[in-house]
Amino acid sequence: MIGDILLFNEYHHAGTELIVDFLKEVGIKTPYSLSVSGESGSGKTEIAHLLKEKLEEQGKRVIVLGQDDYFRLPPHSNHMQRKLDIHWVGAKEVQLLMMNEHVKKLLHPESSIVIKPLINFTEDKIDTEHITGPYDIVIAEGTYTALLDDIDVRVFINRDYKETKKHRLSRNRDQALENNSDKDLTFLEKVLQIEHAIIREHIKLADLVIPPPDELLQETK
């Protein structure tokens, strides 16, 4: 996504190391796909990009596909659609079938060029970009990526929206959509509550669960 902000911290690095150790333990062979899912602000994007760097250090060709690029509507338009119909919130907002198809194509040894959507957050529009495969590893990150069919390893970040509020504010995503009035913030809270109810069920699909910061960072000390 164009205009997104990534802010890395100790938790993101520790979570990345946990995934790297898990991949070594299970001995998965390339090519393979991996999803990083969890609630808004949990650190999915940061961990996915740090993981890409770690795997590239091993000589692998890696790409991160961000779910944000596969939303059916650009950010502000999607937000307004949610206001018109709160039931719009959920996996239906995302072109998961397209994302899944791109995951498969980018791992195929005879892959052609994939033309994928590219969200421009600042201009609230959907552009496109061309990606040429094949890749050794495709990382699909986003709230609903555990639902993708063609995923070999599913990682779930076990943090809820109440725990991640500070991180969400630091990325300026909520403020860019709203005016921070009490009414606006109440609506955003309602959206996060709905997402929470949906996404919490996805922990059952995970091969690896990354614990919350207080637990993970305590383990690494």
The answer to whether residue 168 sits within a structural domain is: yes
The answer to whether residue 122 sits within a structural domain is: yes
92: domain CATH number is: 3.40.50.300
Q: What is the pTM of this model?
A: 0.91
Which pLDDT belongs to residue 205?
98
Quick count: other Cβ atoms within 10 Å of Cβ 53? Answer: 10
How many domains does one find in the chain? 1
Three-class SS of residue 195? helix
**pLDDT band per the 50, 70, 90 thresholds, residue 91:** very high
Domain encompassing residue 130: 10-210
The answer to whether residue 48 sits within a structural domain is: yes
Cα(24)–Cα(90) distance, rounded to whole angstroms? 34
Which pLDDT belongs to residue 7?
81
The answer to whether residue 218 sits within a structural domain is: no
Tokens in use for 7? Answer: 């802010």
Backbone angles phi, psi at 193, to 5 degrees: -65, -40
Residue with tokens 């299970």: 26
The answer to whether the CB of 34 falls within 8 A of the CB of 138 is: yes
The answer to whether residue 45 sits within a structural domain is: yes
Which pLDDT belongs to residue 167?
63
Q: Which residues contact 135 (CB under 8 A, 6 or more apart)?
A: 31, 61, 62, 63, 106, 107
Q: Under the phi-then-psi rule, with left for phi > 0, alpha for psi from -120 to 50, and beta for the rest, what region is 180?
A: left
**Single-letter amino acid code for the residue at 95:** Q
pLDDT > 90 fraction of the chain, expressed in percent and rounded: 77
What average pLDDT does range 43-65 have in this prediction?
Answer: 97
The answer to whether residue 56 sits within a structural domain is: yes
The answer to whether residue 4 sits within a structural domain is: no
Which pLDDT belongs to residue 210?
97
- Each residue of 156-199: pLDDT tens digit? 999 998 887 766 665 555 555 555 566 778 899 999 999 999 99
- Each residue of 13-24: pLDDT tens digit? 999 999 999 999
The answer to whether residue 217 sits within a structural domain is: no
**Single-letter amino acid code for the residue at 53:** E
- Each residue of 117-153: pLDDT tens digit? 999 988 999 999 999 999 999 999 999 999 999 999 9
